[in-house]
Structure 1
Amino acid sequence: MFFNRKNLEDHDLRHFYKKLLFPRLVEERMLTLLRQGKIGKWFSGIGQEAIAVGSTLALEDDEYILPMHRNLGVFTTRGIPLSRLAGQWVGKDSGFTKGRDRSFHFGSQEHKIIGMISHLGPQLAVADGIALAHKLKKENKVTLVYTGEGATSEGDFHEALNLASVWELPVIFLVENNGYGLSTPVSEQYRCANLVDRAVGYGMEGILIDGNNILEVYNAIDTIAQSIRQKPRPVLVECKTFRMRGHEEASGVKYVPPHLFDQWSALDPLLNFEKFLLKAQIFSDIEIQQIKTEQKAIVEQEISSAFIETEIQADIQRELNDVYASSVYTSKNNGPSKENSKRYIDTISDALNLAMERNDNLILMGQDIAEYGGAFKITDGFVAKFGKERIRNTPICESAIVGAALGLSINGYKSVVEMQFADFVSCGFNQIINNLAKTHYRWGEKADTVIRMPTGAGTGAGPFHSQSNEAWFTKTPGLKVVYPAFPDDAKGLLLAAIDDPNPVLYFEHKYLYRSLTGNCPEDYFHTEIGKARLVHEGDQCSIITYGLGVHWAIEFQEQHPEYSIDILDLRSLQPWDKQAVETTVEKTGRIVILHEDTLTCGFGAELSAYIAEHCFEYLDAPVMRCASLDTPIPMNKLLEDQFLAKARLGSTITKLLAY
């Protein structure tokens, strides 16, 4: 193995060796603890340390790195105290996730490290968002993100590289190719000779390096980083290496041919660098042994301190409090506000415009939202006013855009992502459910983004453009879900969502865009998330609903003045206004829960269960749900009308009042 020291001084090489040695010693200690049954799982990076250490040394301390399971060297090289890392690994309060997650599933803004989730690919797009924020701020910074060769088969990999290329983002995508995805060899994973061969397809450079040579890693990443700081663009780097342990220790290594261990043992990154330093007389044998003795003592002391730390005390209230970042809702206007009659769609556009004016760090992203103005023309004219840096057309890559939104938030920006249709959000589902929703609970970082969801039926658009899919998200802790029914709430809830540091799913009904007009304040204001609105008072029964269902209920009441109905518009579905629901239940004792979504496991099921559990003594009849049929949404107008809950509202109320 040839080590090219280039312009590195002797003290640099000594520093590199200490940084390379330390994670190896930590790992050896952790493997001992694993055999002793003192820890439950470990993903070993033995044999791969040169990649993590060399690439981290090549970056500036304030540049973000997004590592994976086997990149202990990133954390130790960046100076995170081993005692805190050990606290993380054994689930103590000193750990970064307070016992809520394991290994490296956390981030640290102090150290500019953003850890992974178990789904391998999503962090690639998060790196895009972090890099975009640097580019928008005109900062000459690089973002480094790791992945394994296995994850290069995932859609997230391709979406993230394509997005970075199109937007010329300063990201180094580093693939650690260790030969196996768990037990699957690379021969069964891809057909190209090297993964960097894919770079040309994205219009970017691809560089192949020896991942076991710390100086080759350092020199290559240093050169690339210096270049793209001055000329922002993505680069794909493939580091050839080998995993000397199993995928995790329980996996074993029987699936690996023995000759590969012999071959790669001879290429051990630590031992070969050590031989080089001894031959070059940078260190003596005595000095090497002294360094190892000193570092082993540190490792033992730091890890032992985590084990003697007091165990976490389970506290329900603390757990609940940490699901969401703190948010405060205030009336943002300065005194009485002038009101004008506006269409539902125009108040959404007004809210975005006001928010863009107020927040220089707010970015809008979505398909066709720039010059074209979006599929529904809500952002028409925004490019001329705010520029293409802030009004960003995206490729068709929902997962990458949601991931980039999280990256923007991590690096100081806010974003609103437009799903062209709410139905298409399924392509970004993992990023929302497992990344946006869980980030604050896991390690205290906000996910300051809003996802606009043009939703609902009534236009004959069929199964893939008409779904009311709010229930996909209402059960996920960490997300907020709002669903305005009126123009003023469309504006107030969108502004509140943008100012909220948590991820908010904002459902806007397409049918109401141009069919509904109402008074709305001209100024900047909030409709508080989590507060319902009583839109009609009555005493015979209550309709609890939201979205288009509110207008079905109002229409029914107008057509049947003989009934006296309380109509409660929830407006927010997560959190939802339990007090308002309890009040209307106590008032009338007869409840219809109405929503456009399908019946089974729709949000009404949660409301019904809550009322049965907490308000049973107020009920004079069973809680009745009126929802759409348990089928996909048909296109034909007659079939769509039959599908929708509105078709059964009258019979449901008649049945309820007759009970």
Structure 2
Amino acid sequence: MMKPEATPQIFFDYKRNDIDDTTLLSLYRGMLKPRMIEEKMLILLRQGKVSKWFSGIGQEAISVGIASVLDRDEYILPMHRNLGVFTMRDIPLYRLFSQWQGKANGFTKGRDRSFHFGTQEFHIVGMISHLGPQFGVADGIALANKLKGNNKVCAVFTGEGGTSEGDIHEALNVASVWQLPVLFCVENNGYGLSTPTNEQYNCENIADRGKGYGMESHIIEGNDILEVYVKLKTLVESMRSNPRPILLEFKTFRMRGHEEASGTKYVPSELIDDWGLRDPLINYENFLLAEGVLTEEKMREFRNEFKQEIDYNLDIAFAEPKIEPFETTELNDVFKKFDYQAIKANPKTENIRFIDAISQGLKQSMERHNNLVLMGQDIAEYGGVFKITEGFVEQFGKERVRNTPICESAIVSAAMGLSINGFKAVVEMQFADFVTSGFNPIINYLAKNHYRWNEKADVVVRMPCGAGVGAGPFHSQTNEAWFTHTPGLKVVYPAFPYDAKGLLATSIEDPNPVMFFEHKALYRSIRQDVPTDYYTLPLGKASMLKEGNDVTIITYGAGVHWALETLDQNSEISADLIDLRTLIPLDSETIYNSVKKTGKAIILQEDSLFGGIASDISALIIENCFEHLDAPVRRVASLETPIPFAANLESAYLPKEKFIDNLKNLLSY
């Protein structure tokens, strides 16, 4: 007599909720495919055919459940362990395999690895290793959806470890204040790499934080695919009719290491055994078998189908040659191609201040670009601390002129999300000094996106900067050198109202990220006749303000006016005076031509000397004009100290007074 087979154990109490068999099988196939891909990747990793792998085995139900309830044109922002998102969007596997091998058919041309990529074709925006900015980018994507009125939702992922980052808190707060339709999905798998949850946070559940943000939140069994699917389907349908953010905590576990090299020795074996019983794929498979929805024959058919698909696409990826580095290609891909269109100024002018030119440029850009959104602290009804946007709310409305919470990082990230979803954004840093609080997304997101996965960052960050107004160490820096050192950012620094208005218009037209510096001491002290209508000026073209034969003076910002004053007081000096206007791109041709003519060069900057852009310009001159030089290149800059408050200390800090001595010493060399 044969012993009856034991009934397979089913850990979860699955609820069908009238789900049809086709959907049940679709969810099963959705989990099976990434599991089989992962199992193959682990073999290839041991064979040395892939370099690194972040396993999501045991967490497939979350990715598959969410991707199943979102429309194909609704953005998803996944992380390392969300392979199911990519497979549910039917990305050709050879492209994924090429991405993981750093080949050309991938999404980053070998420039980034793993899931660090996005694709507009499949409405996926991949992660960066800094984790936190993703939530802010989701805010921006959702804001764009809300402005379009398209009733779309987006979903963004992080792990429980990532929720400790300040960017996460900022983004959740912004989403709540603005009521943005975002699903904030936290996969709580118990460990941030090796750090357990009790060393990450001190509340019982991450979802409990929703109350503090004034946000709806839910805890979901992340390994029960039907619970994930049913709850998310209900929530998403509700969000489409009632846009709002929702914080979701998925209780789950990863059965492998953070990445394969780290292993799982830090995890108690009994915990791994316990979660092994909760395997989302095996439990669901047993449930479908018990329900008669799935058969052993059908299982074999699905596995054979996926095995053939995986092997076929791996052959394509392995046959693809390694990427060949071409310097021109690499350099050209840092920025999105921008075909500058010159819009000439009309003959009608008015004599206005620098600050008025900025305000006019913003207003006329808002009129020209219906998809332009301004964001910043106190910029709406109050008009900003410098009153540049005064009256904008009345003309453009609060949807496009947005007061923000005090959270620079989330707002810069949101600007990136707006750009991804078809908008332009201008972010006002209340003072350039405060950009440190938004440094991460500027440097690691805006600057790198086009190079990484060919996605523009149509964002301008306005930077009221500079000393001379007695504002002290936290409101007076001119910190342009932080950004000229970062490939992927353009840096603009006008000295006159005419230039400020035209260059701001071009910066907003340009689909690349622009750091736009506005010297506060010039706001109300410099006037000029400026065309009343909209016009543009090219980036990367310096202005020759004076021409002479004895020396080349290179400067920008307030330094231009210091140099003009010096030359006015010393009429015997015959100098080329170059106002750079833009630092990146730099008009090196104008610099070289002038230096080759005069044989002497002096560079004046307000920033402290060491590490400033004057050092790079000096090096460029020496490397390209050495045989034409009649004296060493001279740099003049502020003291190597923070900027002091008291007027006499501030005056001693700035290079204005010592510029003439340095200039005369150079001339007499």
1:448 correspondence with 2:470: no
Instruction: Report the Cα offset of residue 304 of structure 1.
Output: 2.4
Give the alignment partner of residue 257 of structure 1, picking from 268, 275, 287: 268
Distance 2:25 2:544 in 1: 71
Instruction: Report the Cα offset of residue 647 of structure 1.
Output: 2.3
Give the alignment partner of residue 170 of structure 2, picking from 159, 167, 176: 159
After superposition, residues 469-618 of structure 1 pair within 5 angstroms as 469-618=479-628
State the secondary structure of the residue aligned to 2:450: helix
Distance 1:124 1:303 in 2: 33
Distance 2:568 2:79 in 1: 59
- Give the conservation status (yes or no) of the 8 Å contact 1:337–1:523: no
Instruction: Report the Cα offset of residue 16 of structure 1.
Output: 1.0
* Cα shift readout 1:8-66 (whole Å, capped 9, x = no counterpart): 11011111111110000000000111101111111000001111111110111111000
- Give the conservation status (yes or no) of the 8 Å contact 2:221–2:251: yes
State the secondary structure of the residue aligned to 1:114: coil
After superposing on structure 2, the runs of 4+ consecutive aligned residues of structure 1 that deviate more than 3 Å are none
- What 5-or-longer segments of structure 2 have no aligned partner? 1-11
- Give the conservation status (yes or no) of the 8 Å contact 2:383–2:392: yes
- Give the conservation status (yes or no) of the 8 Å contact 1:532–1:571: yes
State the secondary structure of the residue aligned to 1:594: strand
Distance 1:411 1:332 in 2: 27
* Cα shift readout 1:104-144 (whole Å, capped 9, x = no counterpart): 11111111100010101111000000000000011101010
One-letter identity of the residue aligned with 1:328: D
1:374 correspondence with 2:374: no
Distance 1:208 1:320 in 2: 46
TM (normalized to structure 2)?
A: 0.98
State the secondary structure of the residue aligned to 2:366: helix
Instruction: Report the Cα offset of residue 340 of structure 1.
Output: 1.6
After superposition, residues 333-482 of structure 1 pair within 5 angstroms as 333=344, 336-482=346-492
Distance 1:532 1:222 in 2: 56
After superposition, residues 52-451 of structure 1 pair within 5 angstroms as 52-333=63-344, 336-451=346-461
State the secondary structure of the residue aligned to 2:448: helix
- Give the conservation status (yes or no) of the 8 Å contact 2:219–2:248: yes
Distance 1:513 1:66 in 2: 41
State the secondary structure of the residue aligned to 2:352: strand
State the secondary structure of the residue aligned to 1:489: helix
Between the two proteins, what is the percent identity of the paired residues? 60
Distance 2:489 2:18 in 1: 50
- Give the conservation status (yes or no) of the 8 Å contact 1:534–1:567: yes
Distance 2:664 2:619 in 1: 22
Distance 2:164 2:321 in 1: 43
Distance 1:266 1:491 in 2: 65
Distance 2:527 2:222 in 1: 62
- Give the conservation status (yes or no) of the 8 Å contact 2:490–2:583: yes
Give the alignment partner of residue 640 of structure 1, picking from 621, 631, 650: 650
Distance 2:142 2:264 in 1: 37
Instruction: Report the Cα offset of residue 363 of structure 1.
Output: 0.3
Instruction: Report the Cα offset of residue 441 of structure 1.
Output: 0.6
State the secondary structure of the residue aligned to 2:447: helix
- Give the conservation status (yes or no) of the 8 Å contact 2:346–2:532: no
One-letter identity of the residue aligned with 2:269: P
1:5 correspondence with 2:9: no
Instruction: Report the Cα offset of residue 564 of structure 1.
Output: 1.0
Distance 2:409 2:241 in 1: 29
Distance 2:603 2:590 in 1: 14
One-letter identity of the residue aligned with 2:574: S
One-letter identity of the residue aligned with 2:496: F
Distance 1:58 1:525 in 2: 46
Distance 2:651 2:573 in 1: 24
Instruction: Report the Cα offset of residue 331 of structure 1.
Output: 2.2
* Cα shift readout 1:357-411 (whole Å, capped 9, x = no counterpart): 0111000000000000000000000000110000000000000000000000000
* Cα shift readout 1:538-585 (whole Å, capped 9, x = no counterpart): 111111000000000000000111111111000000110010010110
- What 5-or-longer segments of structure 1 have no aligned partner? none
Instruction: Report the Cα offset of residue 336 of structure 1.
Output: 4.0
- Give the conservation status (yes or no) of the 8 Å contact 1:83–1:305: yes
One-letter identity of the residue aligned with 1:482: V
One-letter identity of the residue aligned with 1:393: N
* Cα shift readout 1:171-209 (whole Å, capped 9, x = no counterpart): 010000000001000011111110000000000111000
Distance 1:645 1:222 in 2: 63
- Give the conservation status (yes or no) of the 8 Å contact 2:458–2:511: yes
Instruction: Report the Cα offset of residue 306 of structure 1.
Output: 0.4
- Give the conservation status (yes or no) of the 8 Å contact 1:532–1:572: yes
State the secondary structure of the residue aligned to 1:113: coil
One-letter identity of the residue aligned with 1:228: M
Distance 1:365 1:229 in 2: 25
Give the alignment partner of residue 636 of structure 2, picking from 623, 626, 633: 626
Give the alignment partner of residue 20 of structure 1, picking from 31, 42, 47: 31
Taking only aligned residues, the RMSD between alpha carbons, in angstroms, comes to 0.8
One-letter identity of the residue aligned with 2:103: K
Q: How many pairs are equivalent? A: 658
- Counterpart in 1 of 2:5? none
Instruction: Report the Cα offset of residue 91 of structure 1.
Output: 0.6
- Give the conservation status (yes or no) of the 8 Å contact 2:346–2:531: no
Instruction: Report the Cα offset of residue 330 of structure 1.
Output: 2.1
* Cα shift readout 1:303-358 (whole Å, capped 9, x = no counterpart): 2210111221111101111100111222224x743122110000000001100001
One-letter identity of the residue aligned with 2:411: I
- Counterpart in 2 of 1:29? 40
State the secondary structure of the residue aligned to 2:115: coil
Distance 2:660 2:588 in 1: 26
Distance 1:567 1:416 in 2: 31
- Give the conservation status (yes or no) of the 8 Å contact 2:379–2:403: yes
After superposition, residues 37-48 of structure 1 pair within 5 angstroms as 37-48=48-59
Distance 2:639 2:460 in 1: 30
Instruction: Report the Cα offset of residue 220 of structure 1.
Output: 1.4
* Cα shift readout 1:453-480 (whole Å, capped 9, x = no counterpart): 0000000101110001000000111100
* Cα shift readout 1:195-230 (whole Å, capped 9, x = no counterpart): 000000000111000000111111111111111111
Distance 1:328 1:122 in 2: 30
Instruction: Report the Cα offset of residue 7 of structure 1.
Output: 2.8
- Give the conservation status (yes or no) of the 8 Å contact 2:595–2:625: yes
Distance 2:55 2:470 in 1: 54
Instruction: Report the Cα offset of residue 631 of structure 1.
Output: 0.5
State the secondary structure of the residue aligned to 2:656: helix
Instruction: Report the Cα offset of residue 154 of structure 1.
Output: 0.4
